[in-house]
Amino acid sequence: MMEFFRLLKWELFRMYARPRTYIGFAVFLAVEGLVLFLLSRPRVQGALQNWIEKVAGGFDQYFSGLTLGFILVGGTVFLLGAPFLSLVCGDIVAKESEDGNLRLLLARPVSRLKLLMVKYVSCQIYALSLFLFISSSALAVGIIERGWGGGYVVMTPEMPRVSIFEWGQGVGRFYLMPLFLVVSYLPLTSFAFMLSCMRIKPAAATIITLAVVMADFVLANFPLFPLFKEYRDWFVTPRMQMWVYSQYQDIPWPRVIENWAWLIGIGLTGFVLGWMSFERRDIKS
């Protein structure tokens, strides 16, 4: 076990020493800035004010740093979450193979399974750090813009009703979001990882992952396919939206656990398929 953590430490060290790792963080910051700019437009401000006053009461009280932070997180994760995570997870094995570093690692006394486990866990830690960064930076921007304190009001299309929290409770709920997001994105990160384990170019792993997720999302949500609605549970992307359960007034734990079981199951299946493919592969220049 100690060996696993030692390898994990160096895998994470490598990942975070790589300049391109931070491109994702920088782009998320830029998109948060863009969403903030759009939110400050008078018409958007007006609509937001009307809505908050209707559902929660005082605009100044409930359009707080937390509320603004949530809007920024929702917007940026929806826009960029899938591309960046599939990029990192699609790269993690395939890029090493392409660069020739994989042979250096496998010339060492380490099993292929252990190597993949280290890389898979690293992907999930990266996802957590990315979501924590997005949440924290969004909250920081929100506090700078709207000040400290106030209430927290949340509503998304998936939610049955508006959730309203006071500041302290709201911060707790706000920081449940990155944890739920990591589990929600397990199918995506695992699918990209699975492809990365195969004899495939890193870019192909990323593009195929995005294509599959996009197809799943369109089939499950697009109005042109109303007949599919009955089979919505068969699709993965509706389950990936379960992260919003963390913002419900009362978290629906049975549904959370049911979705977690699905998401973790799909994620582990992706890992096992990737491992089986990797284990059978001849690693050659």
Partner 1 sequence: MPTGMWRRSCNFRLAADGLGDYLIEMLTVSHVSKRFGRGDKPAALDDLSFTVNKGEIFGLLGHNGAGKSTALGIMLGMVYPDEGEVSIGGVSVQKQRERAMRKTGAIFEAPNFYDYLSGWRNLQVLTAFSGGVAKREMEEMVEWVGLEDRIQDKVNTYSHGMRQRLALAQALLPRPEMLLLDEPTDGLDPDGIVEFRKHLFALRNDFGVTILLNSHLLSEVEKTCDRIVILRKGHKVYEGNCRGLEQERDNYHFEVDSWQALAGVVEKCGGRTRKDERIVEWSCEEDIAILVSALVEAGVKVRQVTKLEASLEDLYMKVRGEKEGGT
Q: Any contact of residue 285 with partner 1 (CB under 8 A)?
A: yes
Q: Which residues pair with 163 in a beta bridge?
A: 154
Q: Which residues pair with 164 in a beta bridge?
A: 153
What's the closest the beta carbon of residue 1 comes to partner 1, in angstroms? 14
* Cα gap 80→190, rounded to integer Å: 17
Which segment (109-117, 130-138, 210-218, 231-239) binds partner 1 by CB under 8 A?
109-117
Q: H or E element: which one contains 165?
A: strand 163-165
How many alpha carbons lie under 13 Å from residue 166 in its C-beta half-sphere? 1
Q: Which of residues 5-24 bind partner 1 (CB under 8 A)?
A: 6-7, 9-10, 13-14, 17-19
Which segment (108-116, 132-140, 157-165, 187-195) binds partner 1 by CB under 8 A?
108-116
What's the closest the beta carbon of residue 124 comes to partner 1, in angstroms? 20
* Cα gap 28→21, rounded to integer Å: 12
Which segment (34-42, 104-112, 186-194, 269-277) binds partner 1 by CB under 8 A?
104-112
Residue 98 corresponds to which amino acid? E
Which segment (97-105, 140-148, 200-208, 229-237) binds partner 1 by CB under 8 A?
97-105
Q: Any contact of residue 199 with partner 1 (CB under 8 A)?
A: no
Interface contacts to partner 1, rule CB under 8 A: 3, 6-7, 9-10, 13-14, 17-19, 99-101, 103-111, 280, 282-285
